[in-house]
Structure formats: structure tokens, C-alpha cells
Amino acid sequence: MTDLAHIRNFSIIAHIDHGKSTLADRLIQLCGGLEAREMKEQVLDSMDIERERGITIKAQTVRLDYKAKNGEMYELNLIDTPGHVDFAYEVNRSLAACEGSLLVVDASQGVEAQTLANVYQALEVNHEVVPVLNKIDLPAADPEKTRQQIEDVIGLDASDAVEISAKSGIGIPDVLEAIVNRLPPPKGDIKAPLKAMLVDSWYDSYLGVVVLVRIIDGEMKKGQRVLMMGTGGVYTLEQVGIFRPKRENVASLTPGEIGFFTASIKEVADTRVGDTITEERRQCAAPLEGFKPAQPVVFCGLFPVDASEFEDLREAMGKLRLNDASFEFEMETSAALGFGFRCGFLGLLHLEIIRERIEREFNIDLITTAPSVIYHLHMTDGTVQEMHNPADMPDTMKIDHIEEPWIKATILVPDEYLGSVLKLCEDRRGHQVDLTYAGSRAMLVYRLPLNEVVLDFYDRLKSVSRGYASFDYHIEGYEEGDLVKMTILVNDELVDALSTIVHRSRAEQRGRAMCEKLKELIPKHLFKIPIQAAIGGRIVARETIAAMRKDVTAKCYGGDISRKRKLLDKQKEGKKKMRQFGRVDIPQDAFIAALKMDEN
């Protein structure tokens, strides 16, 4: 065990691409956590998707042994945190497990909205925050301006910010010294009954569920019988250990330390993040405050392109859910798409990641239907129904009014793009709450209906600001809205998977845009195809896909029929990637693509 004075627990707060993972790599390297040959980029991002997208999804932890300049050995525990708004709840719990944070800001880019939100979260849990200016060796780096920005925008003293380049390895020892000298050690009492916080858990195919814990008081040992105070579950600890980042068993975990245990827990759903773990026979007086469980806010349908893969899809979802309790699913039947699942996600990125993992890891081609938020339907009989699938919308005569969720969004943007961002927010029914400047950057606070944001707001924001705007949001509450269900008819047949809920004031514009998009997305057929958008019985937009006029191999002799036949076989194969609606083949990616607005 290490005495409390020689432990430092910290996390790193940074915007995507500002160098968090690279800094983590460097810290691990300098403290000898991995041999040079074992180092690969972004050591802590273990999923392929995390590495490819340069994001962290699951919290990861690593213990570093550091010999400080004062000659003493320190145990540094780093909890890596996700950087995307969809996973804000994960940030929360990671922050709660430590006493300090490094705020990493790219000195060539400046502070971003996501960083801001996370720093405020850190300050809320009383973290000591050490600002770190990264990428100072880039020609575009402006440490002075960035320092000023940190003070102006965040209100944090940045005069003694550590200047580094994680990529070139400049200033890394200074970071380690700052952790030791400027972050506070944890508190705790080893003699008190065991009290530990459940930080995270995940499924490992060899070990079962692995639980990440922060010890507050007492001691955690192999063989111990523990009680999870929230769920009431009682388990016998099988392995107790730490990550360096390789897994290593230890005799015990003591106050201030971060480590893991396994205890033959079958599903991640059996554990609750933020729960308090204590000893069954000698319980602590009161549990920790805990966290609110993350609630899905975005819903959509996932259907197998090949209907015969429905059972495979069910199995894939079950497996993913083992590791991600925030992802929900239940069976859904669509007249157009057959059997599939209605799924709930924390946000669009979360949706995309799950979808990509199903397609990649389980090899199932998917059709994704229009994402929806949860609407509250206040019925004329006084009851309130939740609706997260436009296809489930009851008879409008029975609905008194509909409420939709609103968010408060914070957007940071260089002022040359402010105009386009304001327009985007206005187009999405936004209400401006605040507009302030920090140097040449504007900080915008907007209230927006979530249903205008879920699909492509972030993409559009990036696009209109050439990638410079950053965005963060939280849900504020429900408000009444004049909402209607828009349906799409392709070749005079209703395609339920394309139904959406829209604000009446936007309905015609959205209808036109969707019809135009579908006209591009659906290939020409042998006959002309009308595409219509309707609200109730009223057609609000219409496009027609002209019939195909020419598609024939000009030259066909020399007797090479096999080649022609192979083309036909390919055509048959291609048809499997389409879904048939009546007599129209709709490509699988059209369902989402049809909803994305170009707004140009």
C-alpha cells in the first residue's frame, strides 16, 4: 500500500484532437508503464473505433510509478475520460473518482465548448485544475493568447500553465512535477469500514464483468464478501488489481487508490455506476451520493438488411449491451422493414458507434431509421404518453398537445463564422440566450429543440464553421410544440420507416427537402416513381423520379454470354442491398441520408 501523501489521482480534460491520448501515452512511457516496443498510439483507447475516430468512449485507468525530483516515489492514477457530449455522464464519474485534473488546451486552437463544460464539471467536484498548453512547437501556437483565453473564458488562472508538446515529448517531466506538487493527495481512513465508489464496469470474455473502483475508506482484498449498496448485490471478490496499463493483481487496494476487481458478475447491467461498495459484514455508515444513470435521449430503429439475420442481430445487440448498459433495445415490427429493434442511445455519436460495431464486429448490414427524441403526448383524457417512434403516433384527435425536449447549447466559434452559426441555430428553431466574446471568439448560448439537433446539427455546425465551432449541450426540459407527423409515400405507398415528427412551421420545407433527397437517393426504375410528403391527408411536397430510359449493353456477341450472366448475377446480388417497398427498391442508406439537410 502507498500512504495517502504519495498518491495523486487525476484525469485529463481536453477537446478532441487537443492531444489528450498522446499526453497519456507519454506519461505512461516516461514512468515505464510499458516498454517502448509495447507502445502503440493511444494506448488507452482499446477499441478499434476509438483509435480510428480519435475518441475515447470508455473510461480507462492506469497506475504510474513516478520518482519525483524530491527523490520520493509517487503513485499516480490517471483516469482517462471520454471527450464527447454523448458520454458526458462518463466524464462525470471519472472526475468524481479523483482530486485533480489536467486541462489540456491546444495552443494553436484555443478553448473549445466541450472543454469548457468538462472544466466546469471538474470545478463543481472541487478539483484542482492544472492548465497544460499543448502543441507549443507548432508554428501556429500562441501560448500567450491561449493563456488569456483560459482566463477570460473559463476564469482559471493560467499564469503558471505548463507548456508542452506531447507529440515531441517536450515538457512531459514538468507535467509530472505539477501533478505531484500542485494536485492534492486523496483523503481516507484505512481503518474505517470499506467504502468504495463503482467508477465503471465492462465485460471481459475471460474474466466476466470487471469493475473499476476508487477506494475511499478501508481496504479491498481478494476473498472479501462485498455488498453493492445500491443494487443489494453480494459478491465474493475473486481478483483485485490495478492497470499499468497491463492488468496486474495486487494484495489489496487501500484508500485513495484506483483499481479493479472481478467477482463472477455476469452482466454489466448487474452493476450500477456510482454505487457504493462496502464489506458485507462491516458496512460503512452511509453510501456515497451516486450518479443519475444515463438515460437514452435518441431513438431509432435498426433492421437487418437481410431479414434472415434478425436473430443474429438480436444476439449482437445482447452482446453489446453486456458492455454498455446505457444502450437500450426492444423488438419492433415495421410494415416496410419487417422485424428489427427500436434502440435508445445517449446521442448520435453513440448511435453511430453501436451501429458501426454491429456492422463491423458482427457482420450484419443494417438499415437505420430516422432518429427520434422522446415526445410527451398529453391526451385529451388527461393521461400522458411517451412516444419515441413516429410510427406509434396515435390518432391526433385524441391528443390534446405534444411536448418536446429542449436543450441548452453552448457553442464557441471564431467570429468570422458567427453569422452562419446564428443562421443555423435560427433555422433550427433556436432561441438565443447569450452571446459573449473572448478575444476573437464568440460564445453563444442557445436554447434548441432536441429534435432539430439529433440528426445532423453537429455535422452542419462543423460544416458552416469549417470545423472551428465546438458544441456542448444538456437537456433542459419539455415544452409544448406545434408538432405534426410527416409521412412519406413512395410510389403511392406509405414507407413507415421514413415517418418523422416535425414542427408545423418547418413541415413544408422539410417535406420538400426530403422528397428532393429521396429523388437523388433512389435509383431510376423502369417506371416513374412519385415521391410525396404528407401531413395527415394533405400532400405538402412532391417529386417524381423519371423512368429509366437507357440501360442496355450495346454490343453483345463474340459469344461471351458468361460475362453478361455475371452482370445479371451481380444485379441480383445488388438487389439484396436494397429494400423493396411495393415495387420500388430503396437503398439501405437512404433512410438516414434522406433526413440530412444540406441547407445550401
Partner 1 sequence: MDRNSLNTDKRNIVQGEDEAGFGVYVHWPFCLSKCPYCDFNSHVVANVDQRQWADALTRELEHMRGLTGPRELRSIFFGGGTPSLMEVPTVEAVLSAIDRLWGIHQGVEITLEANPTSVEAERFRGYRAAGVNRLSLGVQSLDDRELKFLGRLHSAEEALKAIGLAREIFPRLSFDLIYARPGQTAEAWARELRLALSHAADHLSLYQLTIEEGTAFARLYERGAFRLPEEEDAAELYRLTGEIAAEAGMSAYEVSNYARPGAEARHNLVYWRYGDYAGVGPGAHGRISGDGKKLATQTLKMPGEWLAAVNAEGHGIAALEDVSTAEQGDEMMLMGLRLEEGVSLSRHAHLTGHALDDARVDDLVQKGLLLREGDRIATTQRGRLVLDALLGRLLA
How far apart are CB 541 and partner 1 at their closest, in Å? 24
DSSP code at position 170: B
Pick between residue 36 and residue 568 the one whose CB is nearest to partner 1: 568
CB 548 → partner 1: shortest distance, Å? 5
Q: Which is nearer to partner 1, 205 or 553 (CB)?
A: 553
Nearer to partner 1, 394 or 574 (CB): 574
Name the minimum Å distance from CB 90 to partner 1: 46
Which residues, 6+ apart, have CB-to-CB distance to 258 below 8 Å? Answer: 9, 61, 63, 77, 79, 97, 98, 199, 212, 213, 214, 215, 242
3-class secondary-structure state, position 454: coil
Q: Please say which residue, 521 or 535, places its beta carbon nearer to partner 1.
A: 521
How far, CA to CA in Å, does 374 sit from each of 6, 16, 455, 458, 510? Answer: 48, 29, 14, 19, 20
137 annotated as a binding-site residue? yes
Amino acid at 362: F
Residue 395 annotated as lining a ligand binding site: no
Pick the closest to residue 248 from 424, 104, 62 (CA basis).
62
Residue 562 CB, shortest distance to partner 1, in Å, is: 6
Max distance between CA atoms of the chain, in angstroms, equals 91
Contact in structure between 344 and 385 (CB atoms under 8 Å): no
Instruction: Identify which of residues 37 and 555 has a Cβ nearer to partner 1 in the complex.
Output: 555
Interatomic CA distance for residues 573 and 567, integer angstroms: 10
Known binder of ligand: residue 308? no
Grid cell 444485379 — which residue? Answer: 571
- Tell me the closest approach of the beta carbon of residue 174 to partner 1, in angstroms: 53
545 annotated to a ligand binding site? no
Looking at the Cβ atoms of 120 and 527, the one nearer to partner 1 is: 527
Q: Residue 589 CB, nearest distance to partner 1 (Å)? A: 20
Q: How far is the CB of 520 from partner 1 (least distance, A)?
A: 15
Angle, CA 180 vertex, CA 177 and CA 186 arms, to 5°: 165
Q: Would the annotation count 86 as a binding residue?
A: no
Q: How far apart are the first and last CA of the chain?
A: 62
Cα-Cα-Cα-Cα dihedral sign, residues 348, 349, 353, 354? negative
DSSP H/E element including 76: strand 73-80
Q: For residue 370, what is the DSSP state?
A: P
Q: At closest approach, how far in Å is the CB of 543 from partner 1?
A: 17
Q: Distance of CA 557 to CAs 386, 550, 552, Å?
A: 63, 19, 13
382 annotated ligand binder: no
Which ranges constitute the DSSP H helices of 158-309? 172-182
CB of 384 or CB of 526, closer to partner 1 = 526
Residue 134, annotated ligand binder?
yes
Q: Which lies closer to partner 1 via its Cβ, residue 419 or residue 582?
A: 582
Cα distances (angstroms) measured from residue 317 to each of 244, 268, 321, 478: 31, 14, 6, 30
Q: Is 159 annotated as ligand-binding?
A: no
Beta pairing class for 276-279 and 195-204? antiparallel
Q: Does residue 181 have a known ligand-binding role? A: no
Residues 162 and 174: beta-carbon distance below 8 Å: yes
Q: Which residues bind partner 1 (CB under 8 A)?
A: 525-527, 548-562, 564-565, 567-568, 571-572, 575, 583
Considering beta carbons, is residue 140 or 568 the nearer one to partner 1? 568
Residue 589 known to bind ligand: no
For the CB of residue 519, give the shortest distance to partner 1 in the complex, in Å. Answer: 15
Which three-class secondary structure string do you get for 200-216?
Answer: EEEEECCCEEEEEEEEE
**Residue ranges for the binding site for GTP?**
17-22, 134-137
**Residue ranges for the binding site?**
17-22, 134-137
